[in-house]
Amino acid sequence: MVGVAARERPTRGLSIADVARFATHVVAAWPLAHLGLDAWRGNLTANPIQAVTFRTGDAALTCLVASLVVTPLAVIAGQAWATPSRRPLGLWAFAYASLHLATFAILDYGLDWLLIWQTVVEKRYVLAGAASFAMMVPLALTSTRGWQARLGRSWRHLHRLTYAAGVAAVVHFAWLVKADVREPVAWAIGLAALLALRLPPVRRTLASLVPRASHRKGPLAPPSSRFRLPRTPSGESA
Ligand code: HEM
Task: Domain of residue 132: give its range.
Answer: 4-215
**Looking at the domain assignment, is residue 234 inside a domain?**
no
Residue that wins the pLDDT comparison between 236 and 175: 175
Distance CA 130, CA 96 (A): 14
What band does 79 get if pLDDT is binned at 50, 70 and 90?
A: confident
Q: Which atom of ligand 1 lies nearest, measured to the CA of 165?
A: 30
The pLDDT mean for the chain works out to 86
**Looking at the domain assignment, is residue 40 inside a domain?**
yes
Q: Which residues contact 161 (CB under 8 A, 6 or more apart)?
A: 135, 138, 139
Is residue 68 within 6 Å of ligand 1 at its C-beta? no
What band does 210 get if pLDDT is binned at 50, 70 and 90?
A: low
Distance CA 3, CA 114 (A): 44
**Looking at the domain assignment, is residue 222 inside a domain?**
no
DSSP-H helix ranges across 15-102: 16-41, 48-77, 86-102
The residue among 161, 190, 173 whose CA lies nearest residue 69 is 190
**Looking at the domain assignment, is residue 76 inside a domain?**
yes
**Looking at the domain assignment, is residue 195 inside a domain?**
yes
182 CA from centroid of ligand 1 (Å): 16
What's the confidence (pLDDT) of residue 12? 64
The residue whose C-alpha atom lies closest to atom 38 belonging to ligand 1 is: 54
Q: Which atom of ligand 1 lies nearest, measured to the CA of 136?
A: 27
What band does 235 get if pLDDT is binned at 50, 70 and 90?
A: very low
What band does 212 get if pLDDT is binned at 50, 70 and 90?
A: low
**Looking at the domain assignment, is residue 233 inside a domain?**
no
The residue whose C-alpha atom lies closest to atom 32 belonging to ligand 1 is: 57
The residue among 223, 228, 63, 27 whose CA lies nearest residue 143 is 63
pTM: 0.87
120 CA from centroid of ligand 1 (Å): 12
What's the confidence (pLDDT) of residue 6? 44
172 CA from centroid of ligand 1 (Å): 7
pLDDT, one tens digit per residue, over 2-18 is 444 444 455 567 888 89
The residue among 210, 227, 177, 186 whose CA lies nearest residue 65 is 186
Question: Is 60 exceeded by the pLDDT of residue 209?
Answer: yes
pLDDT, one tens digit per residue, over 133-181 is 999 999 999 999 999 999 999 999 999 999 999 999 999 999 999 889 9
The residue among 154, 158, 139 whose CA lies nearest residue 234 is 154
pLDDT, one tens digit per residue, over 81-97 is 888 999 999 999 999 99
**Looking at the domain assignment, is residue 158 inside a domain?**
yes
What's the confidence (pLDDT) of residue 60? 98
Is residue 135 within 6 Å of ligand 1 at its C-beta? no
- Compute φ and ψ for 154, nearest 5 degrees: -65, -25
Number of domains, the chain: 1
Q: Are 191 and 167 in contact (CB under 8 A)?
A: yes
54 CA from centroid of ligand 1 (Å): 7
**Looking at the domain assignment, is residue 231 inside a domain?**
no
Is residue 103 within 6 Å of ligand 1 at its C-beta? no
85 CA from centroid of ligand 1 (Å): 24
pLDDT, one tens digit per residue, over 43-57 is 999 999 999 999 999
